[in-house]
Structure 1
Amino acid sequence: MGFGNPVRSDDGIGCYVIEQIKSKLAESDPVTILDMGTSAFEVLYQLKGHNKILIVDAVINTGELIGTLYKVPAKEVMRAPLEDPMVFLHSLKWDQALSYAKKMLQDEYPEDIQVYLIAVDNTKLEVELSPEVKAAGEKVVDLMLQELTKTNELSA
């Protein structure tokens, strides 16, 4: 799953990574690839039936160099939304959506969810990625493809 807004410069890195992975995998590969854009609430419906989920997104204000790459288990970055019965779907983020999904799916919630985050600074209204963020995105593509290959070998 790739998240981001491709017309907000480096914020679109998740979508870029997903495009690259789609171009490198065969249609016969048993992998679901989702360009989630900014549709965080859709996470709830896409997790069911999968045992491993890889997420990629931009992260801002980390204090680290632009293009710094983080890989963390989702449980480390999952945020519980406020217990508000009137949750605003447009303001829900994927990390909050994971919290809802965990409650809703219970035993069907995937055990293995890994998150790749890339430090960004530029979220201006532009369609180009900065060289540092694009290079980090390429590294994530390679890491995700390696992980998918390893997973497919284990299940074969």
Structure 2
Amino acid sequence: MSFEVQLGDFLNNFGKLIILGVGNELKSDDGVGPFIVKQLMNDNVESDNVMLIDSGTVPENFTGKIRKENPTHILIVDACLMGLSPGEMKIVDKDDFVNIGISTHSMSLSYFVKYLEMDTDFKIIFVGIEPETMDWGAKPTSIVEKTAYEFIGILKGMIL
């Protein structure tokens, strides 16, 4: 199943969507999640049924805000070591978080998701983008930035 079909199936009939960008903006491609969220903010995508959160490297600091919003859908975007070519994006099932390399965050995303799921009911999906480098740098590499804009275009076509 293609990336677009998987994402479209996930977003079908969402009531309240939270898009959570995760990553360290000082480490090049690791900042792709926050980069995407900031571009979506610049494009005025936020609305009554779409909330954007740049969580940086501490998504766990936003659990209260997320629970308060009572979303029907949560989409997490982050750089992710999946063994793909740099810039490739993939939807990763929440149950497969354990098998992917997300090392810059103080709490594992699998624990973060398990905590959010306590006493709440929502759909969650993780979009991973393979980094080219996670060395110090103020913005994503050109290949990852290109993927970020491609993802933004796909997403906006589905939620606007």
Q: Shared fold by TM > 0.5?
A: yes
Aligned counterparts, 1:6-155, within 5 A: 6-25=25-44, 28-48=47-67, 49-60=70-81, 62-77=82-97, 91-102=106-117, 105-106=118-119, 108-110=120-122, 112-149=123-160
> Over aligned residue pairs, what C-alpha RMSD do you find?
2.1
Measured after TM superposition, the shift of residue 5 of structure 1 is: 0.6
C-alpha distance in 1 between matches for 2:27 and 2:146 = 17
Amino acid at match of 2:111: Q
Q: 2-side partners of 1:12 and 1:92: how far apart?
A: 17
1:109-154 CA-to-partner distances (Å, cap 9, x unmatched) read: 31x11211100131111113111100111111122223323xxxxx
Aligned to 1:128, the other structure's residue is in SS state coil
Gaps of 5+ in 2: 1-19, 100-104
Question: How far has the Cα of 1:31 moved from its partner?
Answer: 1.4
Q: What is the number of residues matched between the two proteins? A: 134
Aligned-pair identity in percent equals 23
For residue 76 of structure 2, give the secondary structure of its aligned residue in structure 1: strand
**Closer, same or farther: CA 50–28 of 1 in aligned 2, 3 Å:** closer
Unpaired runs of 5+ residues, structure 1, are 80-89, 150-156
TM-score (normalizing by structure 2) = 0.74
What code does the residue aligned with 2:141 have? S
